Amino acid sequence: MAIGLIIIGDEILSGKRADKHFPKLVELLNARGLQLAWAEYVGDDRARITSVLERAFNSDDIVFSCGGIGATPDDHTRQCAAAALHLPLVLHPDAKASIEERIADVAREAGRQPDYNAADNAHRLKMGEFPQNAQIIPNPYNKIPGFFVEHGVGGATYFVPGFPVMAWPMIEWVLETRYSQLFQKVSRDEKAVLVFEQAESTLTPMMEALESEYPLIKVFSLPSVGDATIRRHIELGVKGEPSQVAAAFGKMVAELDRLGAEYRDL
């Protein structure tokens, strides 16, 4: 089961805001022994968002989608999710209750009684309109929930706001509430060395042979042109199932010795 991430918003693609969700989700997953398999960025274009969500809904993946679930003109995610599912948007009763609770909180803070029929409050309720049959994700920051849709075999897409202060605890709720059985299920290890003044083409046959012999590992090669403090080098290593990592790394080092390559441990 793969885990994916969708980041929605023109502000990310234009550079007005830097995406913080990608590194945070990697951190949250790694702490639980999980890994991110893919990520995709898309601007505020309804056709593109709908296409991206259609692919997610047709998969068995666990997907987190950040951004665009508000009720302003540039928020399209809820509508696109409904279009991708060919379902109507409906006001979720639990979302309605949570948003009305938020409306009451705001009114009390201002020293007045809540008017649920006021135009601005009626507009706020649109943030509780989700694709039919969606389920809600509680928002501990301001009580305006996100939502999720199940699909495929064990797959689901989780929609949270673009604001990290809301999105991150909501993602943690999803992980802890729905996927704790997956935590630390697969043991992983990683070993690497820095190899100096070698071409990747020289090392590629060894890398291919290792992946062929050890199917539960991946070989990685991260070249660097170097700088004032270090010469041109490649970070060369293996990652995956611990026992196969140990065996593959031993063979990798032996082959580097045979090639007469200069390297050092990380």
pLDDT one-digit tens code per residue, 51-74: 999 999 999 999 999 999 999 999
Residues 28 and 58 in one domain: yes
Q: How far apart are CA 173 and CA 15, in angstroms?
A: 29
Per-residue model confidence as pLDDT tens digits over 129-173? 999 999 999 999 999 999 999 999 999 999 999 999 999 999 999
For 143, the domain range is: 3-182
Q: Are 12 and 86 found together in one domain?
A: yes
- Please tell me whether residues 166 and 225 are part of one structural domain: no
Tell me, yes or no, whether 150 and 194 share the same domain: no
82: CATH: 3.40.980.10
Mean pLDDT of the chain: 96
Question: What is the number of structural domains in the chain?
Answer: 2
Contact 53, 80 (CB under 8 A): yes
DSSP conformation letters of 153-190? TTEEEEEE-S-HHHHHHHHHHHHHHH-GGGTT-S--EE
Residue 263 phi, psi dihedral angles, 5° rounding: -150, 165
Residue where a domain stops, chosen among 182, 198, 228: 182
132 and 202 in a single domain? The answer is no
Do 7 and 57 share a domain, yes or no? yes
Could you say which of 133, 161, 182 is where a domain stops?
182
Let me know whether 16 and 114 are in one domain: yes
What does the radius of gyration of the chain's CA atoms come to, in whole angstroms?
Answer: 24
Amino acid 185: pLDDT:
85
CA distance 194 to 263: 5
Considering 116, 150, 182, which residue would you say is the last residue of a domain? 182
